[in-house]
Structure 1
Amino acid sequence: MNRLLLRVVCLLAVLAGVNYVVWRWLDSVNWSAWWIAVPLVIAETYSVIDTFFFALTMWRVKVRNGPEAPAEGTVDVFITTYDEPIDLVLTTARAAKAIRYPHSTWILDDGDRAEMRAAAEREGLGYVTRSEDWVDKPRHAKAGNLNNALFQTGGEFLLILDADQIPEPQILDNTLGYFADPRVALVQTPQFFSNVDDADPLGNQAPLFYGPIQQGKDGWNAAFFCGSNAVLRRDALMELGIVGYVRDVERTVRVSLRASERMLAKAQRSSRSDPETSRLIAEIRSHVEEASARLRAGDSVGEVTYRLQQSVDGVSRSVVRGDIAAMEEDLRAIAALPVQADSELGAFVVDEVALDRLAETDLSPLAAIESVQRIADTLAVDRPGQAQPVMPMATISVTEDMATAMQLHAAGWRSVYHHELLATGLAPEDLGTMLGQRLRWAQGTLQVMLRDNPLVKRGLSGGQRIMYFATMWSYLSGFASVVYLAAPVVYLLTGVMPVTAWSVDFFARFIPYFVLSQLMFLVAARGLRTWRGQQYSLALFPLWIRACWTAAANVWFGRSLGFVVTPKERAGRAPIPWRQIWPQLTAIVVLVIAAIVGVLRVIAGTADGVGTLVNTVWVIYDLVVLSIIPRAALYRGPAAHAARKDSPLR
Structure 2
Amino acid sequence: MATTWKNKPYRGRRRADTAPLARKVENSAVESPTLLLFVLIAAIGVLAYTGFLLNPSNRGDWLPYGIVITAELILVTQALVSMWTILSGGQDPRTFAFHHSQERLFDATTIERSELAERPHDWPMYLENRRIRVDVYITVFGEPLEKIAKTAMAALAMRGQHVTWILDDGESDAVRDLAADLGVRYVRRLTHHGAKAGNINHALTVSNGEYFVVFDADFVPDKDFLYETVPFFIDDKVAFVQTPQAYGNLHNLISRGAGFMQTVFYRFIQPGRNRFNAAFSVGTNVIFRRSAIEQIGGMVTDSKSEDVWTSLRLHERGWRSIYIAVTLAVGDAPETIEAYTKQQLRWASGGFEILMQRNPFSPRTKLTIDQRIQYFVTATHYLVGITPLLLIMVPPLEIYFDLRPVNLTVTWLTWLLFYAGFYGIQVLLAFHTMGSFRPETLIMAAVSFPIYVRAFVNVFSGREQKWSATGSKRDYVSPFNFIIPQVLFFVFVLLTSLVGIVKDYSHQTITLATAWNVTNTIVLGTFIVAAFRESHRARAVEAPRATFYPTFARPVSERPIHSIPAPVPVRARAASEAERLVPVFDQAGRTVS
TM-score bin (small chain): 0.7 to 0.9
Give, as a single letter, the amino acid of the residue that structure 1 aligns with 2:394.
A
Aligned twin of 2:46: 17
Aligned twin of 2:447: 539
Aligned twin of 1:602: 504
* Among 490, 501, 507, the residue aligned to 1:588: 490
State, as a whole percentage, how many aligned pairs show the same letter.
30
Given the superposition, is the C-alpha separation of residues 4 and 409 from structure 1 closer, same or farther in structure 2, using an over 3 Å criterion?
A: farther
State the distance in 2 between where 1:96 and 1:239 align.
27
Aligned twin of 1:377: none
Aligned twin of 2:235: 181
| Mapping for residues 131-530 of structure 1, pairs under 5 Å | 139-197=193-251, 203-205=257-259, 206-241=262-297, 392-456=298-362, 458-503=365-410, 506=415, 509-523=418-432, 525-527=433-435, 529-530=437-438
Give, as a single letter, the amino acid of the residue that structure 1 aligns with 2:390.
V
Give, as a single letter, the amino acid of the residue that structure 1 aligns with 2:316.
A
1:141 deviates by: 0.8
State the distance in 1 between where 2:436 and 2:213 align.
28
State the distance in 2 between where 1:65 and 1:414 align.
11
Q: Which deviations, in whole Å up to 9, do the C-alpha atoms of 1:29-61 show, x marking residues without a partner?
A: 656x42332122211222211221221221212
State the distance in 1 between where 2:337 and 2:524 align.
14
State the distance in 2 between where 1:534 and 1:218 align.
28
Please list every run of 5 or more consecutive structure 1 residues that lacks an aligned counterpart in the other structure. Answer: 242-391, 639-650
Give, as a single letter, the amino acid of the residue that structure 2 aligns with 1:633.
A
Residue 222 of structure 1 contacts residue 467 of structure 1 at CA under 8 Å; is this kept in 2? yes
Query: Per the alignment, in what secondary structure is the counterpart of residue 128 of structure 1?
Result: strand
State the distance in 1 between where 2:500 and 2:173 align.
65
Aligned twin of 1:256: none
Aligned twin of 2:559: none
Residue 28 of structure 1 contacts residue 501 of structure 1 at CA under 8 Å; is this kept in 2? no
1:527 deviates by: 2.2
Query: Per the alignment, in what secondary structure is the counterpart of residue 302 of structure 2?
Result: coil
State the distance in 2 between where 1:21 and 1:28 align.
14
Given the superposition, is the C-alpha separation of residues 509 and 89 from structure 1 closer, same or farther in structure 2, using an over 3 Å criterion?
A: closer
Q: Which deviations, in whole Å up to 9, do the C-alpha atoms of 1:140-166 show, x marking residues without a partner?
A: 111111111112211111111112222
Residue 396 of structure 1 contacts residue 447 of structure 1 at CA under 8 Å; is this kept in 2? no
1:585 deviates by: 2.9
1:475 deviates by: 1.0
State the distance in 1 between where 2:460 and 2:241 align.
31
Residue 396 of structure 1 contacts residue 451 of structure 1 at CA under 8 Å; is this kept in 2? no
Given the superposition, is the C-alpha separation of residues 113 and 514 from structure 1 closer, same or farther in structure 2, using an over 3 Å criterion?
A: closer
Query: Per the alignment, in what secondary structure is the counterpart of residue 441 of structure 1?
Result: helix
Does 2:148 correspond to 1:89? yes
| Structure 1 or 2: more helix by fraction | 1
Residue 245 of structure 2 contacts residue 330 of structure 2 at CA under 8 Å; is this kept in 1? yes
Give, as a single letter, the amino acid of the residue that structure 1 aligns with 2:211.
F
Aligned twin of 1:617: 515
Does 2:467 correspond to 1:563? yes
Given the superposition, is the C-alpha separation of residues 586 and 83 from structure 1 closer, same or farther in structure 2, using an over 3 Å criterion?
A: closer
Query: Per the alignment, in what secondary structure is the counterpart of residue 250 of structure 2?
Result: coil
Q: From the CA coordinates, give the structure whose radius of gyration is larger.
A: 1
User: C-alpha root-mean-square deviation of aligned residues, in Å?
Assistant: 2.9
Given the superposition, is the C-alpha separation of residues 528 and 105 from structure 1 closer, same or farther in structure 2, using an over 3 Å criterion?
A: farther
State the distance in 1 between where 2:213 and 2:347 align.
21
Please list every run of 5 or more consecutive structure 2 residues that lacks an aligned counterpart in the other structure. Answer: 1-29, 106-125, 127-131, 539-593
Query: Per the alignment, in what secondary structure is the counterpart of residue 340 of structure 2?
Result: helix
Report the number of matched residues.
471
State the distance in 1 between where 2:177 and 2:45 align.
63
Aligned twin of 2:188: 129
Residue 45 of structure 2 contacts residue 421 of structure 2 at CA under 8 Å; is this kept in 1? yes
Residue 201 of structure 1 contacts residue 635 of structure 1 at CA under 8 Å; is this kept in 2? no
State the distance in 1 between where 2:146 and 2:417 align.
60
Q: Which deviations, in whole Å up to 9, do the C-alpha atoms of 1:292-340 show, x marking residues without a partner?
A: xxxxxxxxxxxxxxxxxxxxxxxxxxxxxxxxxxxxxxxxxxxxxxxxx
> Which deviates the most, 421-430 or 479-488?
421-430
Q: Which deviations, in whole Å up to 9, do the C-alpha atoms of 1:223-245 show, x marking residues without a partner?
A: 2211111111112111222xxxx
Q: Which deviations, in whole Å up to 9, do the C-alpha atoms of 1:571-602 show, x marking residues without a partner?
A: 5xx45422432332333333333333333323
1:118 deviates by: 4.8
Aligned twin of 2:72: 44
